[in-house]
Structure 1
């Protein structure tokens, strides 16, 4: 079996037949192109463009971007959790299949929208560079955005729903509060001072969300009734563990060390 046949088998035949012709999900190529363009922009073209320019303020753009993210996160959480008697996520593994039931279709669409939202989030790095906030273009920031987008593509392509739905709902819930904080912070220094005490709490909330997600997804290995291969956890779990360590180091460097300083 040559490489072309292998590619066709894993991308076309093994994928969810329901998303076979969906925009940006058909193959990994668009995602890889987006990542490539993203790297070239944030590390080469935009820094070169900004080299002799004053930082852009982008106040209105960032305000409405944050508002957009708040609305999208709220809509996702609402759709994942309603009706409460039969939500689109599950605390325990419910058997995963490629069926056309209304609940399965809802999970599929939510996974797709969640993936598209992760692509939109790449603009945050562009904003940092245009504002010359180069310190915020950290390894944690870039790694987290890129790997999250890749994994959301993977789950939309192959396993939309199942344990992924819980992690997506939880992430959207945390992001609602995170972007509320960013929106208020975008109003200026006065408001930033009023809410600065919540900054470390947001990092703790992000770490807790990732920790709960990795525990929940471990059911893929522990529970054979999930209907999803353990391979899915082998991709998702280690990446989340790496991000938890990076966030924990960020918290230690930015909050614990500051408290120890006289």
Structure 2
């Protein structure tokens, strides 16, 4: 209604899908320790979230480079937000999966 072109729909759809998967993971994790063996895909969930932020960055960059009647302020805000969240999630991914794997290799 307030933003022309429907550009915000992409962000809403991908974010909603990621959250459905993420909260599905949390629901399974809340069922207790007996479910832990089925939750091997946490790393891939984080990768999926990283993919989401990269896609939002790409969309914002496209919106900024093409005149699509979408307010530049929104594109800049999406871009800055996605970059900051991507940086935080990359840090989490590095600390949780890359650094942890290195520690296990060194301790062998």
Greater RCO, 1 or 2 (C-alpha within 8 Å, sep 6+): 2
With normalisation by structure 1, the TM-score equals 0.38
Measured on the aligned residues, the alpha-carbon RMSD in Å equals 1.6
Question: Which of 198, 206, 211 is the matching residue for 2:49?
Answer: 206
Does the Cα contact within 8 Å between 1:211 and 1:244 map onto a contact in 2? Answer: yes
Structure 1 residues 248-259: aligned runs within 5 Å:
248-259=90-101
**CA offset at residue 210 of structure 1?**
0.9
Unpaired segments ≥5 residues, structure 2 = none
Q: Does 1:170 align with 2:14?
A: yes
With normalisation by structure 2, the TM-score equals 0.87
Does the Cα contact within 8 Å between 1:163 and 1:217 map onto a contact in 2? Answer: no
Q: Determine the C-alpha separation between the residues in 1 that align with 2:76 and 2:51.
A: 20
Does the Cα contact within 8 Å between 1:207 and 1:247 map onto a contact in 2? Answer: yes
| Pairs aligned (count) | 104
Does the Cα contact within 8 Å between 2:60 and 2:76 map onto a contact in 1? Answer: no
**Quick check: which one's helix share is greater?**
2
Unpaired segments ≥5 residues, structure 1 = 1-97, 99-157
Structure 1 residue ranges, 4+ long, deviating more than 6 angstroms after superposition: none
Instruction: Specify the structure having the higher radius of gyration (Cα).
Output: 1
